[in-house]
Amino acid sequence: MNNKEIEAIKLHIAGATIRHTPPFDDLKPFNNNFELEKDFIDRWIIPYYLNIGNTNTEWINKLTTIKHEITTDIIQTNLGDFNWRSRQTGAFFAAITNQTQFIDSIGTHLLKSEVAFAGKVYCKVFASFNLPKCVDYLNLYLDYYLTKHDLWFEQRDAMEAILYLDKLNATNHFEKHFSLWTEFIKNKPNWEVEIKTDNLEKQLKIIETVKTHM
Protein backbone atom coordinates (compact mmCIF):
# COMPACT_ATOMS: atom_id res chain seq x y z
CA MET A 1 0.00 0.00 0.00
CA ASN A 2 1.50 3.36 -1.04
CA ASN A 3 1.50 6.62 0.93
CA LYS A 4 -1.39 8.07 -1.09
CA GLU A 5 -3.60 5.08 -0.30
CA ILE A 6 -2.66 5.19 3.38
CA GLU A 7 -3.50 8.91 3.53
CA ALA A 8 -6.87 8.27 1.86
CA ILE A 9 -7.71 5.64 4.49
CA LYS A 10 -6.74 8.02 7.29
CA LEU A 11 -9.01 10.72 5.86
CA HIS A 12 -11.91 8.29 5.59
CA ILE A 13 -11.51 7.19 9.20
CA ALA A 14 -11.37 10.83 10.29
CA GLY A 15 -14.70 11.42 8.59
CA ALA A 16 -13.58 13.06 5.33
CA THR A 17 -15.71 10.64 3.32
CA ILE A 18 -16.75 13.19 0.68
CA ARG A 19 -14.17 15.54 -0.78
CA HIS A 20 -15.51 18.89 -1.95
CA THR A 21 -14.28 22.45 -2.36
CA PRO A 22 -16.57 25.02 -0.72
CA PRO A 23 -15.94 28.72 -1.41
CA PHE A 24 -14.56 29.49 2.03
CA ASP A 25 -10.82 29.47 1.33
CA ASP A 26 -10.39 32.71 3.24
CA LEU A 27 -11.45 30.93 6.43
CA LYS A 28 -8.51 29.17 8.03
CA PRO A 29 -9.55 26.44 10.48
CA PHE A 30 -7.46 25.93 13.57
CA ASN A 31 -5.58 22.66 13.27
CA ASN A 32 -3.28 20.99 15.76
CA ASN A 33 0.32 20.47 14.70
CA PHE A 34 0.51 17.25 16.69
CA GLU A 35 -1.18 13.87 16.97
CA LEU A 36 -3.42 13.29 19.97
CA GLU A 37 -1.98 10.99 22.61
CA LYS A 38 -3.87 7.85 23.50
CA ASP A 39 -4.37 8.98 27.09
CA PHE A 40 -6.07 12.16 25.90
CA ILE A 41 -8.31 10.26 23.48
CA ASP A 42 -9.29 7.76 26.16
CA ARG A 43 -10.02 10.52 28.68
CA TRP A 44 -11.61 13.29 26.62
CA ILE A 45 -13.08 11.77 23.46
CA ILE A 46 -14.04 8.10 23.65
CA PRO A 47 -16.41 8.38 26.66
CA TYR A 48 -18.34 11.26 25.09
CA TYR A 49 -18.54 11.40 21.31
CA LEU A 50 -21.15 8.65 20.89
CA ASN A 51 -23.31 9.94 23.74
CA ILE A 52 -23.73 13.58 22.74
CA GLY A 53 -27.33 13.02 21.65
CA ASN A 54 -28.36 11.33 24.91
CA THR A 55 -30.91 12.92 27.22
CA ASN A 56 -30.94 10.48 30.14
CA THR A 57 -30.11 11.23 33.76
CA GLU A 58 -26.95 9.12 33.75
CA TRP A 59 -25.53 11.26 30.94
CA ILE A 60 -26.43 14.50 32.72
CA ASN A 61 -24.75 13.30 35.91
CA LYS A 62 -21.61 12.31 34.03
CA LEU A 63 -21.37 15.72 32.37
CA THR A 64 -22.00 17.71 35.54
CA THR A 65 -19.33 15.66 37.31
CA ILE A 66 -16.60 16.42 34.76
CA LYS A 67 -17.68 19.89 33.59
CA HIS A 68 -15.31 21.78 35.87
CA GLU A 69 -12.37 19.71 34.59
CA ILE A 70 -12.90 20.85 30.99
CA THR A 71 -10.33 23.52 30.22
CA THR A 72 -10.02 25.77 27.19
CA ASP A 73 -6.95 23.72 26.19
CA ILE A 74 -9.02 20.53 26.15
CA ILE A 75 -11.67 22.16 23.96
CA GLN A 76 -9.09 23.66 21.60
CA THR A 77 -7.21 20.39 21.32
CA ASN A 78 -10.41 18.57 20.39
CA LEU A 79 -11.47 21.19 17.85
CA GLY A 80 -8.01 21.28 16.31
CA ASP A 81 -7.89 17.56 15.62
CA PHE A 82 -8.85 16.46 12.10
CA ASN A 83 -11.42 13.88 13.18
CA TRP A 84 -15.20 14.06 13.54
CA ARG A 85 -15.14 12.40 16.96
CA SER A 86 -12.82 14.92 18.56
CA ARG A 87 -14.25 17.96 16.76
CA GLN A 88 -17.83 17.31 17.79
CA THR A 89 -16.73 16.55 21.34
CA GLY A 90 -14.79 19.81 21.51
CA ALA A 91 -17.77 21.78 20.24
CA PHE A 92 -20.08 20.09 22.73
CA PHE A 93 -17.66 20.82 25.58
CA ALA A 94 -17.65 24.47 24.51
CA ALA A 95 -21.45 24.51 24.80
CA ILE A 96 -21.76 22.93 28.25
CA THR A 97 -19.05 25.23 29.62
CA ASN A 98 -20.39 28.29 27.74
CA GLN A 99 -17.06 28.96 26.02
CA THR A 100 -18.35 31.31 23.33
CA GLN A 101 -14.82 32.34 22.32
CA PHE A 102 -14.78 29.20 20.17
CA ILE A 103 -17.68 30.34 17.95
CA ASP A 104 -15.40 31.28 15.06
CA SER A 105 -13.49 27.99 15.21
CA ILE A 106 -16.74 26.03 15.24
CA GLY A 107 -18.27 28.22 12.54
CA THR A 108 -15.26 27.75 10.28
CA HIS A 109 -15.46 23.99 10.72
CA LEU A 110 -19.17 24.10 9.90
CA LEU A 111 -18.72 26.11 6.72
CA LYS A 112 -15.80 24.08 5.44
CA SER A 113 -17.49 20.77 6.38
CA GLU A 114 -14.27 18.80 6.16
CA VAL A 115 -15.50 15.77 8.13
CA ALA A 116 -18.86 14.04 8.40
CA PHE A 117 -21.16 13.94 11.46
CA ALA A 118 -19.58 16.83 13.40
CA GLY A 119 -21.81 19.44 11.74
CA LYS A 120 -24.83 18.14 13.63
CA VAL A 121 -23.18 19.13 16.88
CA TYR A 122 -21.96 22.48 15.56
CA CYS A 123 -25.56 23.42 14.72
CA LYS A 124 -26.75 22.31 18.14
CA VAL A 125 -24.02 24.33 19.84
CA PHE A 126 -24.95 27.46 17.89
CA ALA A 127 -28.57 27.01 18.88
CA SER A 128 -27.42 26.79 22.49
CA PHE A 129 -25.22 29.91 22.33
CA ASN A 130 -27.89 31.95 20.50
CA LEU A 131 -25.60 34.84 19.60
CA PRO A 132 -25.84 36.92 16.40
CA LYS A 133 -22.61 35.46 15.06
CA CYS A 134 -24.04 31.94 15.46
CA VAL A 135 -27.05 32.92 13.38
CA ASP A 136 -24.72 34.39 10.76
CA TYR A 137 -22.79 31.14 10.44
CA LEU A 138 -25.97 29.09 10.14
CA ASN A 139 -27.30 31.42 7.44
CA LEU A 140 -24.04 31.28 5.51
CA TYR A 141 -24.06 27.49 5.72
CA LEU A 142 -27.63 27.24 4.43
CA ASP A 143 -27.12 29.84 1.71
CA TYR A 144 -24.41 27.66 0.21
CA TYR A 145 -25.16 24.05 1.10
CA LEU A 146 -28.86 24.14 0.25
CA THR A 147 -27.78 24.80 -3.34
CA LYS A 148 -25.56 21.71 -3.41
CA HIS A 149 -28.11 18.96 -3.97
CA ASP A 150 -25.41 16.29 -4.24
CA LEU A 151 -23.97 17.04 -0.80
CA TRP A 152 -26.07 15.24 1.80
CA PHE A 153 -24.62 16.99 4.82
CA GLU A 154 -26.14 18.69 7.88
CA GLN A 155 -28.65 20.88 6.06
CA ARG A 156 -31.57 19.58 8.13
CA ASP A 157 -29.72 20.20 11.39
CA ALA A 158 -28.95 23.76 10.33
CA MET A 159 -32.60 24.32 9.37
CA GLU A 160 -33.72 23.00 12.75
CA ALA A 161 -31.28 25.29 14.54
CA ILE A 162 -32.32 28.37 12.56
CA LEU A 163 -36.02 27.60 13.12
CA TYR A 164 -35.43 27.20 16.85
CA LEU A 165 -33.54 30.50 17.02
CA ASP A 166 -36.29 32.22 15.05
CA LYS A 167 -38.74 31.13 17.75
CA LEU A 168 -36.52 32.52 20.49
CA ASN A 169 -35.57 35.75 18.78
CA ALA A 170 -38.75 36.58 16.84
CA THR A 171 -36.80 36.56 13.58
CA ASN A 172 -37.64 35.08 10.18
CA HIS A 173 -34.48 33.46 8.81
CA PHE A 174 -36.09 30.05 8.35
CA GLU A 175 -38.62 31.26 5.78
CA LYS A 176 -35.83 32.78 3.69
CA HIS A 177 -34.30 29.33 3.28
CA PHE A 178 -37.43 27.24 2.94
CA SER A 179 -37.82 27.38 -0.84
CA LEU A 180 -34.21 26.26 -1.28
CA TRP A 181 -34.87 23.52 1.28
CA THR A 182 -37.82 22.14 -0.68
CA GLU A 183 -35.69 22.05 -3.83
CA PHE A 184 -32.79 20.48 -1.98
CA ILE A 185 -34.79 17.47 -0.78
CA LYS A 186 -36.44 16.66 -4.12
CA ASN A 187 -33.81 14.01 -4.89
CA LYS A 188 -33.88 12.70 -1.30
CA PRO A 189 -37.02 10.53 -0.91
CA ASN A 190 -36.32 9.68 2.73
CA TRP A 191 -35.96 13.30 3.83
CA GLU A 192 -39.13 14.91 5.19
CA VAL A 193 -40.06 18.42 4.13
CA GLU A 194 -41.27 19.42 7.57
CA ILE A 195 -38.67 20.74 9.98
CA LYS A 196 -39.26 20.02 13.66
CA THR A 197 -37.30 21.19 16.68
CA ASP A 198 -38.63 18.79 19.34
CA ASN A 199 -35.54 16.59 19.52
CA LEU A 200 -33.20 19.57 19.30
CA GLU A 201 -34.98 21.26 22.19
CA LYS A 202 -34.65 18.14 24.35
CA GLN A 203 -30.92 18.09 23.76
CA LEU A 204 -30.60 21.81 24.35
CA LYS A 205 -32.26 21.36 27.73
CA ILE A 206 -29.50 18.92 28.62
CA ILE A 207 -26.85 21.44 27.62
CA GLU A 208 -28.58 24.18 29.62
CA THR A 209 -28.92 21.93 32.68
CA VAL A 210 -25.22 21.09 32.64
CA LYS A 211 -24.17 24.64 31.79
CA THR A 212 -26.03 26.14 34.74
CA HIS A 213 -25.12 23.42 37.23
CA MET A 214 -22.88 24.81 39.98
Task: Assess whether pLDDT exceeds 90 at residue 25.
Answer: no
Question: Of the candidates 106, 99, 117, 2, which has an alpha carbon nearest to the alpha carbon of residue 49?
Answer: 117
- Greater confidence (209 vs 26) lies with 209
pLDDT value of residue 26: 82
For residue 212, give Cα distances in angstroms to 60, 65, 95, 103: 12, 13, 11, 19
pLDDT band at 20 (very low <50, low <70, confident <90, very high): low
178-204 pLDDT per residue, tens: 999 999 999 999 999 999 999 999 999
Rounded average pLDDT over 48-74: 96
pTM given for the model = 0.89
pLDDT value of residue 18: 57
Task: Assess whether pLDDT exceeds 50 at residue 14.
Answer: no
Measured in whole angstroms, the distance separating CA 134 from the mean position of its chain's CA atoms is: 12
29-51 pLDDT per residue, tens: 889 999 999 999 999 999 999 99
Q: What is the average pLDDT score of the chain?
A: 91
- Greater confidence (6 vs 20) lies with 20
CA distance 105 to 116: 16
